[in-house]
Amino acid sequence: MPTRLLVAIALSASLAPLNSTMVAVALPEMSRDLGAESSVLRQGLVTSYLLTNIVLQSPGGKLGDRLGYRRALAMGQILFALGATLAYVWPLLPGLTAARILMAAGGAILAPSAFAMLRTELPPEVRARAFGAMGAMMGLSAGLGPKVGALLVTHFGWTSIFLANVPVLLLSAALVHLGAPAASPPKEAAPRPRFDVLGSVLLGASLLGLVIGLENKDLRWAAALGVVGLVPFAWWEQRAADPIIDFSLFKRRSFVAGSLLIAIQNFAMYSMLFELPQVAGRLFGAGPRDVGNTLVTMMAMMIVASPLAGRASERFGARAVALAGSALALVGMTLLVFLPWNAVTDAVPALGLLGLGLGLTSAPSQASSISDVPREKSGMAAGLTSTMRYLGGIAGLTVLGFVLTESPVPEIARREHATSIVIFCASLVVTLGCAALLPGRLPPPVPAASR
């Protein structure tokens, strides 16, 4: 794959994390200008974006398998650009909500198509390096989001955070498609079955109920309905002519292990991003700036380690690098229990180890999960792993909702912190087992006949 194409794919895939953090910075200004409460804006612009992404990841990946990944990437770019433009020209709550849903739909097609293109257009010996570069780019974009968002809001107004996406998308589209023929899905003797609309609806409804129930204590029944809803979905997928999810993928060891690694990584990372600010504020009165400067250590180490993990995987194998990363992450998380905790900055060494471990695990787990599936199902696999990534983060926030209180008593805060870290450590122990199941080397392409 030419460097030009890798840069283009990374630019498109990085827009989703960049926009998530940019919008968070702009919410206070938007609330004042629109006369809307912050909670209403969060539901309309943040929660709707997250839910749409989760619901559409698997259908978006399947769309790439059917249309070809370049075409699907172009479709995602168009939807994202349309949403960004709509937000700029209709800067009121209904227009912004519709725009964010449109952007999320585009992102749900962009991400699986981008990862599928890495799998289908790269030889196995350099694939992990590309996934590492992608992980670093997405992490960097999430980290830069607040700073870029603050700069745009200060100098050009909050509507500029939406319009800024358009030139990035145009550049990405030009790099991907200029002089490169669009890839077509493989020709078949008979017409392909219709897109699995019923399966998409059943899966979307189940995931929607599950996420809403996990995020709201008063709606736990929705989560139960979401889990129950997976039963008719699974029944239908076994009978659909062209299912949205092929359950035979779950018979592939590397796909299952890599997907679980990705989910647990996000469980630990997002939990820490939300747990530390709450605990540090109650224990030391630490403000957002102090906590942010501490957490940036974890994010920075993840960004640095991700591309290094790709190169190391090519030399030492995916299993060895993922095991090392999982062990380092577990050590870093364990140290957070035994910290002297006189100030929030005491967590810097432990967070550095945690970030290093998570970064080292990311590239080999992502590359292994998608490399162990038939080429023509790369989009489906990428969509599933993206869904797992989101669900892992939501599961972490749900656990924190059960463990943490708002008690100002320091001893209670310390006990809740210790309980949270023990749970996170237990999850990271599972990653050691998952890492051990990854291949020593990335597998060669799986022929279609093995489906």
At residue 174, the pLDDT reads 83
Instruction: Out of 6-10, 58-62, 321-325, pick the least confident.
Output: 6-10
**Per-residue model confidence as pLDDT tens digits over 405-422:** 878 888 888 888 889 899
Grade residue 182 by pLDDT with cuts at 50, 70 and 90: very low
Residue 432 has pLDDT above 50, yes or no: yes
The band of 183, judged by pLDDT with boundaries at 50, 70 and 90, is: very low
pLDDT digits (tens, 9 = 90+) for 332-377: 999 988 777 778 888 899 999 999 999 999 888 888 888 878 888 8
**pLDDT tier, 184 (very low <50, low <70, confident <90, very high otherwise):** very low
Is 24's pLDDT higher than 80? no
Q: What is the pLDDT of residues 278-325, one digit of tens each?
A: 888 888 777 767 877 888 888 889 888 988 888 888 888 889 999 999
For residue 443, name the pLDDT band (cuts at 50, 70, 90). Answer: low
pLDDT of residue 449: 41
pLDDT at 325: 94
- Percent residues over pLDDT 70 in the chain: 93
Superfamily of domain 1-179: MFS general substrate transporter like domains (1.20.1250.20)
Predicted confidence band of residue 187 (pLDDT cuts 50, 70, 90): very low
Q: What is the pLDDT of residue 235?
A: 94
CATH assignment of 246-444, among 1.20.140.10, 2.40.50.140, 1.20.1250.20, 3.40.50.300: 1.20.1250.20
Contacts by 23-29 with C-beta closer than 8 Å and gap 24+? 23/49, 23/100, 23/149, 23/161, 24/145, 24/146, 24/149, 25/145, 25/146, 25/149, 25/150, 25/153, 26/149, 26/153, 26/158, 26/161, 29/153, 29/157, 29/158
Read off φ and ψ for residue 374, nearest 5 degrees: -55, 145
Neighbouring CB atoms inside 10 A of 331's CB total: 16
Highest mean pLDDT among 24-28, 184-188, 317-321: 317-321
CA–CA gap between residue 102 and residue 49 (Å, rounded): 9
Mean local confidence (pLDDT), 104-131: 84
Going by C-alpha positions, the residue among 196, 203, 194, 193 that lies closest to residue 233 is: 203
At 278 the pLDDT is: 80
Would you say residue 445 has pLDDT above 80? no
Q: What was the pLDDT predicted at 321?
A: 93
The answer to whether 276 touches 372, Cβ cutoff 8 Å, is no
Reply yes or no on whether the pLDDT at 256 is more than 80: yes
* pLDDT value of residue 442: 59
281-292 burial, b at 16+ Cβ within 10 Å, e below that, comes to bbbbebeeebbe
Report how far residue 322's alpha carbon sits from residue 135's, in angstroms, rounded to the nearest whole number. Answer: 14
What mean pLDDT comes out for the span 79-107?
92
What does the pLDDT look like over 203-239, one tens digit per residue? 989 988 888 888 777 888 888 999 999 999 999 999 8
